[in-house]
A and B are shown apart, each in its own frame.
Chain A
Amino acid sequence: MTLTQKPSTPPEIGGIGHSVRRHEDDRFIVGQGRYLDDHTLPGMLHMAILRSPLPHARINSIDTSAAAAVDGVVAVVTGELLAQYNLAWMPTLSGDTQAVLATDKVRFQGQEVAAVVATDPYIAEDALELIEVDYEPLPVITSPQQSLAADAVLIRDDKEGQTSNLVYEWEAGDGAATEVAFARADRVVSLETHYPRSHPSPLETCGCLADVNSATGQATIYMTSQAPHAIRTVFAMVAGLPEQNIRIISPDIGGGFGNKVPVYPGYVVATAASLVIGKPVKWVESRSENLISTGFARDYHMKGELALTNDGRILALRVQMLSDQGAFYADAQPTQFRAGLFHVVTGSYDFPAAHVQCRGAYTNKAPGGVAYRCSFRITEASYLIERLVQTAAYELGIDPADIRFKNFIQPDQFPYETPTGFVYDSGDYPTALRSALDAIGYEKLRAEQAAARDEGRFVGIGIAHFTEAVGAGPSKKYDILGLKMIDSAELRVHPTGKAILKLGVRSQGQGHETTFAQIVADELGIPVTDIKVVEGDTDNTPYGLGTYASRSTPVAGAAAAVVSRKIADKARKIAAHLLEAADDDIELQNGVFSVKGTPGRSVTIADVSLAAYTNLPDGMEYGLEDVHYYDPPNLTYPYGSYVVVVDVDPETGVWKARRVVALDDCGVRINPMIVEGQIHGGLTEGFAKSSMQWITFDEEGNCSGSNFMDYLIPTAWETPRFELLETCTPSPHHPIGAKGVGESATVGSPAAYVNAVIDAVAHLGVRNIDMPLLPDRVWSAIQSARATGG
């Protein structure tokens, strides 16, 4: 571990470690970005979707005649019509099935029932109001507990052999060893908590523009997708179209956060409509449609128990988790892990035994538990263990920082295999937490807290130390629908020494056009401004599983480094030829190839690039380009220590974050400015979830969070100021030592905020308040703790 990291290239090359200004920003700042809805094709039609007002109902009939008669309406599509093409149902990314347009029943409010294709979007919207659907309401299930009750109505009666609402049962760890440890424990501390349903809410909603050429069968689909290659393959499998005739173009994307990983019914209907009508069809969701029907996140009901010694040493962890999956099991996650990587719940601590039991249940809510910046459920896992450790500290009367130091995995224990099967690559947790505590002035704050309590003021200090597991993943364990989670990079260096790097991932705002160019710049010494990064067009980029779960840098970034090294190897041979020296005597530094021990003899990468097309050694193939498919040997394990200070108003329950100190160790930072931007975003999202943000339903299953007045996104006004720190512990197995950071702060910070508020009222006996910590929940917790004499 080092505290700082220095770039090895000069600024004019702009390799790893330089805060290079983002290449993509010029076009976004002047309004020249091109998002999905900016695309227009000749003869293009517009599609709008009719959605179910009821969360659970049988469809008796659908009358589309009045809508079809509206001037300008070209087609009205129903599930019955799609069934004729075998498209009424589609597979989900978790191997379940999902209705494209409902045929038998609607299973959540907002489910797709019919679609209108018209010459303009206003007409399409008007015609929707004329479709008459006869619904027969059915009992509604709004919680997984209710769903698994013996007398619960069966939601998925479409599935043969499905006799209950149970979606899956899955476990990790060693149950027997864990029981033994619990039997030996001095103390058992438990915590039950709900991580509520939230929504990724990218500012650009989902949509597509499908253009099927009826003469050639070529389907070109512009789509807001984080994973264009995977989507193309799924489309080929769903629609039976030949894969070479499907081209997915994922243009500039206005935020994804996991929401743009799945295949949505609108994509399928628009493509089918274009195929049948023979004209391009555009579909773009409204904000409300995005919020009520597309992939949600979280909704985990969790119970965790720690077996402890009296002096605070953790012996074992036992977890039971029940997830609310909605009406279709559409999680985007590796196949063999039914609850994502939730079993990383043992966190940053060293103890021998853990047992994690997971179940999922169907409910009448929207499907699609996507990872909302959570690395496949690690947000939930990290939240649970950090809340649980904090609870244990109070119950045992140990300082919340001390109990963490006492149980941390130590630096000399890496690589460290956890009881649930992860092999953490590297880390120095005690230094990270100590640095964060020193920065915030921990001991002094504890003294202030005690004094404030005497005056009736509540101050809280919350700690969270998270460890993430990102960069899925090694092909022996990680696939989605059988597709291995590898990723790739193709690098072409042109005769003038300028380069194009093509990748299978897709940036949604992360700055790939800058950071991946920096990797190549670092390896080859080509100035970063001379490297163009291309992503998002399946016809013009190599295969890859896409951008989510913080995997772009760990997987595609590694591919970019390795392909650069392949190019460097060939370039070295060409340089040797030009310099009339032996291959082994050629050194490459900052874009200059020189002969060892003879610094005067050198050629530049530009010279070598020209030679690659003009002047080669005998027998060498022309050109300077290559491709690399990277299969990571392990996940990477970024971590961090966050400390939050809050002031709680005892009279109203209103709390404010006074200070937020966030130390992140994500290994080598390619572009420190972009890394800090990612952390700022994640800390803001953590603040959102801890304070105000959740998708709410009433008892009848109506979603009451269908717009940004009801589903809250914090603004700069209420978001606290962040103080960032870093350490750098490179990943030993990643080619450039990077670990990925896209989700770190979203994973780590919610527990820090919540622990801070709980810490402010812990002296009253409060141990848990479920997120979001709305003022009324905080106030009620204070009231009931006082009433019970806490």
Chain B
Amino acid sequence: MFPSSFDYVAARSVEEAVAAKAGAGDDARVLAGGQSLIPMMKMRLAAPAQLVDINRVPGLDALERTNGQLRVGALVRHADIARSDLAFGAIASAAPWISDPLVRNLGTLCGSVAHCDPEGDWNSVLLATGADVVARGPSGERTIPITDFVVDFFTNALRDDEMVTEVRIPVPNGRSGGSYQKLERKVGDYATVAVAAHLELGGTGAIARAGVALTAVVPKNTKVTAAENVLVGNHPSTELFEEAAELAAQASEPRDDVRGSAEWKRNVVRVFTRRALTAAAAQAQQG
């Protein structure tokens, strides 16, 4: 496994990193955890002309709650989130399911988000919780809602001269709960099917806000708006969750492959959506 040759820049600041990236155009890649990028380069599936290493950039490793948001910096590793008390709901539920311990120790949430692999977990969690992605370019910073950020498989909304510096996830005020249900063939595998669910309850106990998103059974991580609409305004119940689960199954577009048949995957979407919503509601009702 010998990659093609490439230039390497170790940036000392976000400005330096952005400048280096801008200089190399679409041939540059940001290196944070490298858990997808390096294997792709070694298999020669990716051959960037330049790597911009941001691991020495101070301040990007912040994981904190401010202004009602959970802020996850570009150098926050999956493992940091998995062991943080600040994580909640679907975030806390998904973190231990990210690949394996080795990948979690090095890989970053922001890197996974920017990679836009439809089998990646974080974008579904962010779609369910309604997060924003913060991007920095030569002309400054902009905030991109996750629904706009995920453009297509392996395609994000960044411009060639931009990099992700942070992800911001709104922290609910009232009673809330979330869950990430993932079916993988083994630890370290990508999801065969995964469902993220997020529920916020109003004063009456009815669902005030709902997020449902799918991993690996759609061409890109996808929010199931139809299911969310059915949930909002109603009290949690088995029947309601079964209805939402059916809508999620209908929204999925699985394909037959070595992991299993499309029919079975659609069934798992149905079962996992019901289970994720049930777990999310139980958590919300407890809190």
Contact = CB atoms under 8 A, between A and B. Distances in A.
B188 interface: yes
A4 interface: no
A569 interface: no
Contacts of A717: 100, 186-187
Contact of B185 (A286, A692, A704, A780): A692
B120 to A, nearest CB: 13
B250 to A, nearest CB: 18
A715 B188 contact: yes
Contact of A652 (B5, B188, B190, B268): B268
A126 B2 CA distance: 9
A136 interface: no
Contact of B264 (A121, A126, A696, A779): A779
Contacts of A673: none
A725 interface: no
Give the residue among A654, A774, A776, A777 with the most B Cβ atoms within 10 A. A776
A653 B100 contact: no
A33 interface: no
B285 interface: no
Given A654-B183, A717-B187, A776 B265 contact: yes
A775 B44 CA distance: 32
Contact of B43 (A704, A707, A712): A707
Interface in A280-317: 286-288
Contacts of B190: 709
A776 B266 CA distance: 11
Interface string B252-287: 000000111101110110011000000000000000
A459 to B, nearest CB: 19
Contacts of B189: 709, 712
Interface string B95-112: 000001000000000000
A696 B267 CA distance: 24
Interface residues of B, number: 25
A287 B267 CA distance: 35
Interface in A196-240: none
Interface in A698-718: 704-705, 707, 709-710, 712-715, 717-718
Contacts of B5: 122, 126
B258 A710 contact: yes
B187 A774 contact: no
B5 to A, nearest CB: 7
Contacts of B1: 286-287
Nearest to A716: B187
Interface in A706-734: 707, 709-710, 712-715, 717-718
B155 interface: no
Contact residues on A (Cβ < 8 Å of other chain), bracket: 20 to 34
A125 B264 contact: no
Contact of B271 (A122, A651, A713, A718): A651
B264 A718 contact: no
Nearest to B268: A652
Contacts of A287: 1
Contacts of B271: 651-652
A774 B260 contact: yes
Given A286-B1, A652-B267, A715 B261 contact: no
B183 A652 contact: yes
B262 to A, nearest CB: 10
A596 B261 CA distance: 76
Given A126-B4, A287-B1, A652-B267, A780 B261 contact: yes
Nearest to B1: A286
Given A704-B258, A774-B259, A780-B264, A288 B186 contact: no
A495 to B, nearest CB: 50
A775 B258 contact: no
Contacts of B183: 652, 654, 775
A775 B4 contact: no
Sorted nearest first, the 10 A-B pairs with minimum C-beta distance are A776-B260, A776-B264, A717-B187, A125-B2, A696-B258, A651-B271, A122-B2, A286-B1, A715-B187, A692-B185
Interface of A: 121-122, 125-126, 286-288, 651-654, 692, 696, 704-705, 707, 709-710, 712-715, 717-718, 774-777, 779-780
25 contacts: A122-B2, A122-B5, A125-B44, A126-B4, A286-B1, A651-B267, A652-B183, A652-B267, A652-B271, A707-B43, A709-B189, A709-B190, A712-B185, A717-B100, A717-B187, A774-B185, A775-B183, A775-B264, A775-B268, A776-B260, A776-B261, A779-B264, A779-B267, A780-B261, A780-B264
Given A652-B268, A774-B260, 16 more contacts: A121-B2, A126-B4, A126-B5, A286-B1, A288-B43, A652-B183, A709-B189, A709-B190, A710-B258, A712-B185, A712-B186, A715-B186, A718-B186, A774-B185, A775-B264, A776-B259
Interface of B: 1-2, 4-5, 43-44, 100, 183, 185-190, 258-261, 263-265, 267-268, 271-272
